[in-house]
Chain A
Amino acid sequence: MRTKSTLTRRGLLRTGAALGAATLATPALMRRSYAQGAKPFEVWVWGGPDRFDGRLNSFAQAYPEEAGTFDVTVRSPGAHGAEVWQALRLALASGQTLPDVVMSNYIAVPEFAELGVLTDMSDRFAEFEDDLTPAGRSLSVYNDMFVGVPANHNIKTWFYNAAKFDAAGIDPTAVRTAADFMAAGQAYRSAHPDSYIMNLGDTPIHYNYFMMLSHWNDLTLANRDGSYNITSDPRFAEVFQLMHDWRQSGIAMPIDDWSPDWQPGFQEGRIGSSLIASWMLGFLPRFMPEQRGEWEIAAWPDFSHRGSEGGGPVFMFPNGAPNTDNAWEFMSKLHLSTEGGVIDWQTRGTIPGTTSALSQLQELASNVTRPADMTDEQWQLTPGYYYGDGFMDPIIAAMEDFQVFQYDPAAPAQLDIMRRRVNPYVSGNSTLEEALEGMQADMERQIGNPYAV
């Protein structure tokens, strides 16, 4: 059913491709061509090429005359961001033609920037620089060089089922300390024996940890000299212990984000709230359209209100790709201009990195109306339709607290080590000391100095 519904939603640009769909020559899964215009470029995204459809639609709505001038090839090397990094590394090693633009969370920007494989976009950014928000700037820049276009901001956001919270007597704005949250979780459990205030399984994802760790902007895994801080800085222990306690106290449903049980958990009402990032705005309407109007949005509690989930997706431009100019034109128009930023937010809930777009959408969100040229189906998947008036206020307020964890060039490898060492502790299969010491030792031995490329 779900795949069917997308077909009608895919709008203008798809018609040409759809005609050839049954034939052998069709661009297949993981690569799709929107061959229309004279300005070609290839973009890599994770999660399937459909993930780019929304952006194409936004572009077509913001720039109806120009949409047809591009010829976009979308390739999705895998379901996860890490698979995009792997594909890019292999493309670099094998000397294949590089993609013109690659979507990656900010996590991997330091690695590719330090390797010197990203194009310096500083000159092109000049005309947009003044309009960039501090958050947008922090995603665009590495070591004072502009390397990517911010495609969204993964602001820490708390989604909750308002009726369930009311029934349990929980007011999210009154939850401030970690102890408050634990108490709320327990109150929730006793009010709803079949439901949970959060979910955390045996194999938490790296962002479960990094959202918490990004609360401190002076925290790093490694120092420039290659020494590691994991056992010495008590904040690591604090975060891991907190998550361990959530899991072990039973306030967390023991399944993980993106596991096959996750979406059913929401649908069946067993997950009643989620401390997660603002990209979830776009997923809840898809996960459970029938729960429209039941979900509300708050900022994270005070004990961890600053930070982000991996910063956010950034479009970076590999050196030596054939069509950097076309890719830049498309991405900058979509994500650095006011019109593009507003429309992509309206249709998909992405948060723009420009002051002009941000101020416009705040107004629009206070009184949500349906844009003129949107179909029913498109409209019903928009955050405005799903959450109702004023839903952006807590998110825009939380943008004040947006900051990116100080990822270093070895971040992709560090994520894996952290999960391997800390997951067993959180799920009750090892001790805090084992987690911290194991993580530190593995990073020292297997990664060494992350800055020594």
Chain B
Amino acid sequence: MRDVAVIGVGLTQFGELWEKSFRELIAEAGAKAILDSGISGKEVDAMYVGSMSSGRFIGQEHIGALVADASGFSFAHVPSTRVEGACASGGLAVRQGYLAVASGMHDVVVVGGIEKMNDVGGTSATETLATAADQEWEAFFGATFPGIYAMIATRHMHDYGTTREQMAQVAVKNHMNGVLNPYAQYRKEISLDAVLNATMVAYPLGLLDCSPVSDGAASIVLCAAEKAKKYTNKAVKIIAAGQASDTLALHARENICTLQATVHAAKMAYKQANLTPKDIDLAEVHDCFTIAEICAIEDLGFVKKGEGGKAIDNRITTRDGSLPVNTSGGLKAKGHPVGATGVAQVIEIALQLRGDAEKRQVPDARIGLAHNVGGSGATCTVHILEAM
């Protein structure tokens, strides 16, 4: 195994992108990443792309080939592979790219993530997202995807005294960060009252506890760390790539409030990097719902189980706190084009470690973590990056 570096990053705007097609979005993100990296197109050895449900969102499968074609790599006949793990599809693509380079199989790999969610109606988008849950034993009976996270929230409130206000503060914080991110879907602050009084979606989660339906794409270029200097002086190293799975259905888990896939993916990553949670300077975590960020900071080991709510009260995770979380605005404010999310999280960490995060820059950031979850926690990836 050899070290792997992120040498280029590219993002599209996240949001309701009515004028842009799936192909345009992925080509734009890929081109930006390649230009940022300094490689020439000829040097691309392989491509991996994460997409949760292009089949339902745009009626198109065979996304590996489509992405290679749309990005101009079809005549180079570059191997291109789509990976899927619901909302963790992007994180999985990053990890597949990482493994391909680390193994020595390929020197330069382009990783992409994309979702074009607004080409179907809102109801249809929500139902497609619910396919990340267990269709036969959860969704069939009327459980929606927000409903499943809401059940985690209800139990978290019961077991640990977590409050709706604490959850709402997650949304408030992430919107404050989103204001500073030029690619974010929502660049405006929201008040605590607005979150608490928003239309109820699935008690105890209101509309502003939920991440939005978004279009967007993200791409990174990976290469063997020893060769990174050849292309750029802005490389950051991926020092760990953890992944774990859990039961598809939330109900099958012994503890409803602990995402064991996060716990295990994090354990794998900390071990590989030889680090502890204390060594992490900042994190991008999977806040598809506000309760998910609270569970994530607990399950990643940043705070004790049950103290995620208090950590929000104590402002530990704000941009000027001891562990800034979701400086990008998170899924909540930056937007959540599901397949793109895992890649975009790695991009935010890379930008922060490069010192390129502009107004939302965390001073002296050396080590960052990206946490991407599929479904209600059946798939999880944890990547740790270090400045070079």
Is this pair of chains taken from one and the same complex?
A: no
B interface residues (Cβ-Cβ under 8 A, vs A): none
A interface residues (Cβ-Cβ under 8 A, vs B): none
